[in-house]
Amino acid sequence: MKRTCLSILLAISSCYPVFAQQKRPNVIVIYADDLGYGDVSCYGATKIKTPHIDQLAKRGLRFTNAHATSATCTPSRFSILTGVYAWRKKGTGIAPGNAALLIDTAQITLAKIFKQTGYTTAAIGKWHLGLGGKGGPDWNGEIKPGPQELGFDKSYIIPATLDRVPTVIVDNHHVENLDPNDPITVDYHQKTGDWPTGKDHPELLTMKSSNGHDNTIINGIGRIGYMTGGKAAIWDDYTLTEKLTKQAESFITKNKENPFFMYFASPNIHVPRTPNKMFAGKSGMGSRGDVILEFDWSVGQLMKTLDSLGLTKNTIIVLSSDNGPVVDDGYQDEAEALLGGHKPAGPLRGGKYSAFDGGTRIPFIVSWPSVVKSGTSSVLISQVDLVKSFAGMLNQKLNTDQAYDSFDMISQILGKSVTNRPYLVEDAAGLGIIIDNWKYIEPNNAAAYDRTTKTELGNNKEPQLYNLSVDIHENKNLAAQYPDKVKLLSEKLRQVKNEHGYHL
Ligand code: NG6
Ligand code: CA
């Protein structure tokens, strides 16, 4: 055992000489929910200020061409944690709150990469990758397998989304604060128990739905899915971010002496948007703006904690988002009326759910003060690359059947190289591929526009080709003009799909 550790350390030192003088860096991935490319001031937002994120960007490296793998949550999270594109595996679309665990426990994960080299690991915040075996989770018993079976020593999570039941926190293998005399029942097909629903009792709602969200009412908010029981375990929407942030702070503090990896997946800025009273009304942009401030605050809290423990210099922070922005995602929260000229996707077209870059190009900031020089990078990179990149940094060799969609981009992440990823796949209703600023979107029959979220979805029965270097907004379809480019990109996409299979 000792010899293995020593050989790993020696290997690491030879790879990154910086390890020879200092301890291995802590790594924190801060993963926002639905935060758009244009939602933070260091990416050009002028109507809202995100001072903590800006500070992180100022001292670190800000990426302008980084992508989530998908335009929705579950598949992006699947990919960032496994190094495999979710579109290869059926059932990895937006998961219901009672889905079974979607990641095979035998699979390599980002957490395992760190755990195997002696890091202490934690997942805190939004999970949305299913829990439990085939039949789904047993909310009243041991909830397993889950993050802990995937390499996280500690997990403190909300099972799915803020708008999906059960609205409880799962602390390691159990629902926190569950009273055994008040068991939880969850159903996604039919009503369970006698708690009122938004559909039957709209008069009980404090936040009205604009689309769906009319199943069980919890804390005055209609949710997706039916639930009853577990009253003492139900979270308070307005203080949830504060609570999760405190957990993250205490994990850092507890592990200040040893290297740690924390996946901090904030539930902000997803709907329902319920800002803490510290932020309510503060953005002037309504609750969507207020929860951006709340997210920025939580980032600041983690930075402060690191500072107070003297850990800032040797901690890598990667901050990003799981998909692009959406304004009206199903609740009447005045997000649209109060936007006031703010552009959540910045210069990009589309947003969450979209095949255009607004769906997947997201903020991506890397800070490691003792190693990474401040600046910006326009390198093409995907979140799916984190697994192999950190494996590379820790000198762990992966087999060819592990994390096969991930590329080792650690040099780019640390600002030591500007070589683009050779190609990058984006996943919405259909797939798209980018090679050197040319983007191709496969023809597909899905709707071009979603009226409920007012999103340009980027679907088209015809092939689409855009030159992102001069047309970042994907206005001009050049497919007819450049058939050779279409051929090159579509063939590459077909090859990538066929290499390891696909269901899309
Ligand atoms: C949609 C929900 C939306 C959000 C999304 C998942 C409705 C009408 N819309 O089905 O509110 O929950 O799923 O978002 O129910 S994600 O960021 O987790 O992918
Ligand atoms: Ca999301």
pLDDT at site 231:
98
Please indicate, yes or no, whether residues 360 and 480 belong to a single structural domain of this protein: no
Give the distance (Å) from ligand 2 centre to CA of residue 274. 16
- The rounded distance, in Å, linking the Cα atoms of 149 and 170 is 14
Q: Is 20 a member of any domain?
A: no
Give the distance (Å) from ligand 2 centre to CA of residue 71. 8
Ligand 1 shell residues, CB under 6 Å:
33-34, 72-73, 94, 128, 161, 163, 211-213, 224, 270-271, 323, 329-330
Give the distance (Å) from ligand 1 centre to CA of residue 388. 30
Give the distance (Å) from ligand 2 centre to CA of residue 310. 32
Q: Is 90 a member of any domain?
A: yes
What are the pLDDT digits (tens) for 443-479?
Answer: 999 999 999 999 999 999 999 999 999 999 999 999 9
Examine the fold and report which residue of 413, 432, 464 is the final residue of a domain before the chain moves on: 413
> Which of 128, 270, 354 maximizes ligand 1 atoms within 8 Å of its Cβ, making it the mutation to test the pocket?
270
Please indicate, yes or no, whether residues 460 and 398 belong to a single structural domain of this protein: no
Non-local CB neighbours of 281 within 8 Å, separated by 6+ positions:
290
Please indicate, yes or no, whether residues 274 and 407 belong to a single structural domain of this protein: yes
Q: Is 483 a member of any domain?
A: yes
Please indicate, yes or no, whether residues 407 and 435 belong to a single structural domain of this protein: no
- The rounded distance, in Å, linking the Cα atoms of 271 and 243 is 18
The upper half-sphere exposure of residue 260, i.e. CA atoms within 13 Å in the direction of its Cβ, equals 24
Which numbered atom of ligand 1 lies nearest the CA of 270?
Answer: 17
- The rounded distance, in Å, linking the Cα atoms of 27 and 44 is 27
What is the reported pTM?
Answer: 0.96
pLDDT at 20 over 80: no
Q: Is 17 a member of any domain?
A: no
DSSP label of 174? E
pLDDT over 90, % of the chain: 95
CA-nearest residue for atom 3, ligand 1, is: 329
- The rounded distance, in Å, linking the Cα atoms of 219 and 46 is 34
pLDDT at site 17:
45
pLDDT at site 13:
44
Residues 290-313, mean pLDDT to the nearest whole number: 98
Task: Count the neighbouring beta carbons within 10 Å of the beta carbon of residue 447.
Answer: 11
pLDDT at site 7:
44
CA-nearest residue for atom 13, ligand 1, is: 94
234 contacts 208 by C-beta, under 8 angstroms: no
pLDDT at site 504:
74
pLDDT at 108 over 70: yes
pLDDT at 324 over 90: yes
The upper half-sphere exposure of residue 144, i.e. CA atoms within 13 Å in the direction of its Cβ, equals 9
Which numbered atom of ligand 1 lies nearest the CA of 126?
Answer: 18
DSSP label of 23? P
pLDDT at site 23:
85
Which numbered atom of ligand 1 lies nearest the CA of 160?
Answer: 18
Give residues whose Cβ lies within 5 Å of ion ligand 2.
33-34, 73, 322-323
Q: Is 419 a member of any domain?
A: no
* Ligand number, closest to the Cα atom of 34: 2
Give the distance (Å) from ligand 2 centre to CA of residue 396. 30
Please indicate, yes or no, whether residues 428 and 481 belong to a single structural domain of this protein: yes
Q: Is 36 a member of any domain?
A: yes
66 contacts 364 by C-beta, under 8 angstroms: yes
Q: Is 1 a member of any domain?
A: no
Task: Count the neighbouring beta carbons within 10 Å of the beta carbon of residue 456.
Answer: 18
Please indicate, yes or no, whether residues 171 and 244 belong to a single structural domain of this protein: yes
What are the pLDDT digits (tens) for 34-82?
Answer: 999 999 999 999 999 999 999 999 999 999 999 999 999 999 999 999 9
386 contacts 110 by C-beta, under 8 angstroms: yes
Q: Is 54 a member of any domain?
A: yes
What is the number of domains present in the chain? 3
pLDDT at 12 over 50: no
What are the pLDDT digits (tens) for 352-387?
Answer: 999 999 999 999 999 999 999 999 999 999 999 999
> Which of 72, 74, 320 maximizes ligand 1 atoms within 8 Å of its Cβ, making it the mutation to test the pocket?
72
Which CATH number belongs to the domain containing residue 318 in this structure? 3.40.720.10
Which CATH number belongs to the domain containing residue 489 in this structure? 3.30.1120.10
pLDDT at 11 over 50: no
pLDDT at site 19:
57
Please indicate, yes or no, whether residues 290 and 436 belong to a single structural domain of this protein: no
Q: What are phi and psi of 48, to 5 degrees?
A: -140, 145
Please indicate, yes or no, whether residues 435 and 488 belong to a single structural domain of this protein: yes
Please indicate, yes or no, whether residues 293 and 432 belong to a single structural domain of this protein: no
pLDDT at 239 over 60: yes
Please indicate, yes or no, whether residues 193 and 316 belong to a single structural domain of this protein: no
* Ligand number, closest to the Cα atom of 323: 2
Residues 321-350, mean pLDDT to the nearest whole number: 98
pLDDT at 21 over 70: no
Give the distance (Å) from ligand 1 centre to CA of residue 452. 11
Please indicate, yes or no, whether residues 131 and 277 belong to a single structural domain of this protein: yes
Examine the fold and report which residue of 413, 440, 474 is the final residue of a domain before the chain moves on: 413
Please indicate, yes or no, whether residues 364 and 459 belong to a single structural domain of this protein: no
Q: What are 466's strand-pairing partners?
A: 439
Examine the fold and report which residue of 390, 413, 436 is the final residue of a domain before the chain moves on: 413
- The length of the chain in residues reads 504
Range of the domain at 211: 185-228
pLDDT over 70, % of the chain: 96
* Ligand number, closest to the Cα atom of 265: 2
* Ligand number, closest to the Cα atom of 68: 2
Cα radius of gyration rounded to whole Å, the chain: 22
pLDDT at 9 over 50: no
Q: Taking CA 421 as the corner, what is the angle to CA 415 and CA 423, rounded to the nearest 5 degrees?
A: 160
Residues 102-125, mean pLDDT to the nearest whole number: 98
pLDDT at site 425:
98
pLDDT band at 22 (very low <50, low <70, confident <90, very high): low
Mean pLDDT over the full length of the chain: 96
